[in-house]
Amino acid sequence: MSSLATAGKKRRKELMTLNMGPSHPAMHGIVRIVLDLDGERIENADVEIGYLHRAFEKSSEQSGYLQVIPYTDRLNYVSPLINNVGYCMAVEKLFGIQTTERSEYIRVVMSEFSRVSDHLTCVGASAMELGVFTVFLYMVKAREMIYQLIESVTGARLTISYVRPGGVKADLPAGFSDEAHKIIREVRSILKECGALLTRNRIFVDRLKGIGIISKEDALGYGITGPFLRSTGIDYDVRKDSPYSVYNQFDFEIPVGACGDNYDRYLCRMEEIEQSLHIVEQALHKIPGGDFMSAPHAAMPAEEMVDLAKMGQTEGLAQTEVEPEPTLEGGTEKYFEMLQTKDHRVVLPPKEKTYGNIEGLMQHFKLIMFGHGIAPPKGEVYQAVEGANGELGFFVVSDGTGRPYRVRVRPPCFAIMAALPLMLQGGTIADVVPTFGSVNMIGGELDR
């Protein structure tokens, strides 16, 4: 072959295969993306998940209905209260239980604070991975204030197990409303400062705008929901389109984008934080009566009541109020009817009755012990709530025993991860980090 013919012949394109993760810092240690590269350009991407499989669904089927609640905390562990609410609402559907209005307002308040903490984590971590470490520190500071508020209500920061079928574990503590309004003001101040640092920042905008685009049609085809779907211009939100709890009592907007790129997703999340804070303010204003604003009354410490009960010295204990610990504050008998359904098939008795009389002890025993626990009628239900990443659904099947026959979760970020190769294709290696960050992938929810 002549040299001219050799020069004219097209060179064969060779692709390089690059493993990004699971040990890459941006992959959280639990996702592997296999990239086929033509130089810096991504020709193809294969996303591999399953590094954090927790067996949530099978573990739930080996446990009683009440024992599943701590497992739900570990799905999306950045906004666990929403997981609690979704699962408990599914169980309530099985029983046909009507919850109290006050407990529903408390669920909304705590869910929206959880949503805010989730979005703060997503935006802050994504900004940090692009070099804006200041915004990460500011948003973690805001999240810390919310975590402390959540701890004052639930007794825990992250794995809270607060919601119960039929209500919530405890009432809001004294001074909660004032502290919540104070934190809302501070979070808004931090958001304003972070928005000034990011929204018109030339480098930040160039790294996000026009990157990781997905069309409305593709987003719907993959079953994507949440801020990711809304960034394409579709205003689907479970709180509006299939109202649950008391969300139909509040006035709030659904932020939508136009392009379906990383920048639109950032803007949607920033505005959703503001809308969630607005919902909390309305809920605290409208919440039905209760004396959570008053100081707790003097009463017997819980550990003393337990010791007396163990010794059989129960005279007068049924009329004695428990002096609350952080995990029991607002959970004593005087709050009970405001927070829990009167259906004894699912609700544990207040501590005063558990330790103070035989009927309360028997009720507690029957609900907790294997073979005696809560047993809904045979049937199946699906309950969807609006999680931080989109539609979070629980499908629960009852065979009439004390254990769920089947528990299936619809994790919102699973569908987004399925579409990730589509959004990465044609981009560069540098685009992987902001696009993956905009997914807000949570391993416990993704791998279940």
Q: What is the pTM of this model?
A: 0.88
Q: Residue 235: pLDDT above 70? A: yes
Structure confidence by residue, pLDDT tens digits, 104-127: 999 999 999 999 999 999 999 999
Task: Locate the domains of the chain by residue range.
Answer: 56-292+373-447
Give me the pLDDT at residue 408, please. Answer: 93
- Nearest-angstrom CA–CA distance, 96 and 343: 10
Residue 8: pLDDT band by 50, 70, 90 thresholds?
very low
Maximum CA pair distance of the chain?
Answer: 108
Beta carbons of 386 and 112 less than 8 angstroms apart:
no
Higher pLDDT: 295 or 142? It is 142
**What 3-state DSSP class applies to 19?**
strand
- Nearest-angstrom CA–CA distance, 341 and 363: 15
Give me the pLDDT at residue 295, please. Answer: 43
Give me the pLDDT at residue 359, please. Answer: 86
Residue 325: pLDDT band by 50, 70, 90 thresholds?
low
Structure confidence by residue, pLDDT tens digits, 409-442: 999 999 999 999 999 999 999 999 999 999 988 8
Tell me the backbone φ, ψ of residue 67, rounded to 5 degrees: -70, -10
Which fold does the domain 56-292+373-447 belong to in CATH? Cytochrome-c3 Hydrogenase; chain B (1.10.645)
Token pair 């197990």: residue: 161
- Nearest-angstrom CA–CA distance, 351 and 348: 9
Structure confidence by residue, pLDDT tens digits, 293-306: 444 445 677 778 77
Please return the burial class of 79, using the count of CB atoms within 10 Å of its CB with bins 0-12, 13-18 and 19+.
Answer: buried
Most confident of 17-31, 77-91, 302-316: 77-91
Tokens standing for residue 126: 């994504």
Q: Residue 247: pLDDT above 90? A: yes
Structure confidence by residue, pLDDT tens digits, 68-93: 999 999 898 899 999 999 999 999 99
